[in-house]
Amino acid sequence: MIAFPNCKINLGLSITAKRADGYHELETVFYPVGLQDMVEIIHNNDSINPIQFSNTGLAIPGDETQNLCVKAYNLLKKDFPAIPSVKMHLHKHIPMGAGLGGGSSDGTAVLKLLNQLFNLGLNTNQLVHYAAQLGSDCPFFVYDTACHATGRGEILQPYPCDLSNYKIALIHPGIHVSTGWAFGQLQPHAKEKLIHEIIAQPIESWKASLVNDFEAPIFIAHPILQTIKDELYKQGAIYASMSGSGSSIFGIFPATFVWPSTFMKNQFRNDYI
């Protein structure tokens, strides 16, 4: 069984408070975007190794056991020990450390695939429960539709935001931003206007008021990101921003926009949606 987990962008991101458990209170609107990875899971008759994991595409650093796809399998295996051994393959296309939630999307896709493949009978709320144990962004990918998010990102409400009549450019400059470092640069505080109220206004007004709190410190550390954002506006973006804690920058363009053949290509990795 195969799934094609997509990424997300953040429409605004406010860090409003530091919690006693070490997490941060935030507000954002998650929006799904069609840049995809690929995950395949098949039965495996191996009584010794419960999971055989492989990957192609972008290199994935670190211990394989810490990959969210593997963690998702082990998480369900604890509660459903009858799940048999599997072979799992991940083809990685969504860049990592980019603020696009690719790893979270992959892990959540594994939860969904296992639920279908082995008839576990998990409903949406149960899948969200498991996804929240994988990571703060993971519950969003259970819904995979525009959602207003609060808490640490796991409290979700579907939100009426539709960008299907626009074009979205994703620019990833190959810079990895540590999420822990990024949070450490912020001074959480309540905002005068909530993000979902700003997004309810015409998209032409977003440039003046829809802010990602991470941009200020990260743009100081990596000035090229400010350059990319400025260039997207020069190219005709209605709105441009960094996604999550970076480093990807996205631009929202009119549906009539035609990508120039040289659009940002000489300097940056590009993925056009």
114/110 Cα distance (integer angstroms): 6
DSSP string, 118-131: TT----HHHHHHHH
Active site residue 144: no
Distance set, CA 126 to CA 7, 76, 115, 138 (Å): 22, 11, 11, 13
**What are 232-235's contacts with CB under 8 Å, separation 24+?**
232/169, 232/171, 232/264, 233/207, 235/260, 235/263, 235/264
Q: Of residues 37, 137, 213, 271, which has the active-site annotation?
A: 137
Give the type of residue at 151.
Answer: G
Question: Which helix (H) or strand (E) segment is 235 a member of?
Answer: helix 223-235
- Give 163's contacts (C-beta < 8 A, 6+ positions apart): 31, 252
Q: Of residues 8, 92, 112, 229, which has the active-site annotation?
A: 8
Active site residue 8: yes
Active-site annotation, residues: 8, 137
